[in-house]
Amino acid sequence: MADSRTKLGVSSSRWLSALLACALLLVSPLALALGQVKAVRFWPAAESTRLTLETDIPVTFQSMTLKDPMRLVIDLQGFATGGALDQLAARVGADNPLISRVRVAQFKPDVARVVLDLRQPVASKLFVVPPAGEYGHRMVLDLMPESAAEAAPAGDSQALMETPATPPPRSPARNPARNDGGFDRLVTIAIDAGHGGEDPGARGPSGLIEKDVTLAIARRLKALIESEPGVRAYLVRDDDYFIPLQERTAKARRARADLFVSIHADAFIKPDAAGSSVFVLSENGASSAAARWLAKRENDADLVGGVRIDNRDAHLARTLLDLSQTATINDSVKLAGHVLGELSQLNRLHKPAVEQAGFAVLKSPDIPSILVETAFITNPVEERKLADPAHQEQVARAILAGLKRYLSENPALARPAKVVSATPAVRSVGSL
């Protein structure tokens, strides 16, 4: 009898253990098929901080801001801790002006909680973006000091809607009586280093990244411009971080820029494509199939970098802007011609004329704007040149020479000026 009871007890114990194991299995992350964070990317900058979590499934989240102490809490629904998410705390440097530390924990069996301890009040944007380029599903968090957010425009489209239909003259009036080569007021040139942060741009066959090349040339161009009398340079992007295309033009306008130069390194599916190009905005279509392809690739930077597109007024704002850009495009064509002419003395040209396409970054209604494709980073020979600091300096000097020619021959940027014969012809605009 005792043996039977003992056996029954052992059997019951084994049955209970098996039942408990099954129960634990049912609530385990594997059984629940919880999502995982595949990669964590952190982009601190002076103006803002961006945190990106790349995941294997679409992200559903809830967030809240707490005080005393200041914290931002993000709950990832249907996610487990571990892996890349546990590395997040180590990515926040001790010198970060907004975040003092990050904590990660499994708040519930199916909820991973991320807590950011804040150093100061912040304004935050938290949103998800679908897979694009080399990236999968992502949750993006943008932080900026609350004081800076209050000083900035209420929104990109709102700032654009407030643009006057007939913008006030912004051009530098040259005074013939002066002999120092300067202007009656300080001329501001906005330099936009293409791509950045989450958006690397194109990659060369040896691994050179476009965002690094553009920033290097932009910094050199800034130094050269500021050595000239009467002009100053404003870097739209001064470090490795992502800026949406529309915000790039908005930043230039807030800096009251007179000219806008966006610097890029071209790419194509064939490695033998080569040469420099200069583009301006087209209202009617691209000037070639290659220009149309390139514009789409550059405009897709917002998808790669991660932008929340939820403003219903955005298309209306762009439409209103398009109506006021004809005069500015004419000035842009003249500026582009001078820069292209200077680049032709340094490198072969991909096309012998200024090209036009619908680049979103060039849609400023009152600032002559050009996009310079310095060379093809996907061409092995040109990639080596783009990686050479000496060549980067030469490119910057060529762009500066074109800017100076334009400024010297156009004392009022808002008024048409005679185009010199040395300026390359403008390719006729085709239709999409």
Name every residue whose Cβ is closer than 8 Å to that of residue 134 and which is 6 or more positions away in sequence: 304
Distance CA(304)–CA(360), nearest Å, equals 15
pLDDT at site 328: 81
For residue 331, give the 3-state DSSP assignment: helix
Would you state the pLDDT for residue 282? 79
Q: What fold characterizes domain 33-149? A: Immunoglobulin-like (2.60.40)
How high is the pLDDT of residue 99? Answer: 93
From the list 261, 231, 263, 264, the residue with the least C-alpha distance to 249 is 261
pLDDT of 347: 94
CA angle, residues 378, 381, 385, in degrees to nearest 5: 95
**pLDDT for position 269:** 83
Place of tokens 């396409």: 357
In the chain, CATH 2.60.40.3500 sits at 33-149
- CATH 3.40.630.40 maps onto the chain at 153-409
- Cα distances from 67 to residues 64, 96, 117, 144, in angstroms, run 10, 19, 10, 17
153-409 homologous superfamily: Zn-dependent exopeptidases (3.40.630.40)
> Which DSSP letter does residue 276 get?
B
Strand locations in 204-363 (E) = 231-235, 259-266, 277-281, 355-357
Parts of the chain with a pLDDT under 50: 6-10, 20-21, 23-25, 29-31, 153-181, 311-317, 319-321, 323, 412-432
Q: Tell me, what's the pLDDT at 186?
A: 86
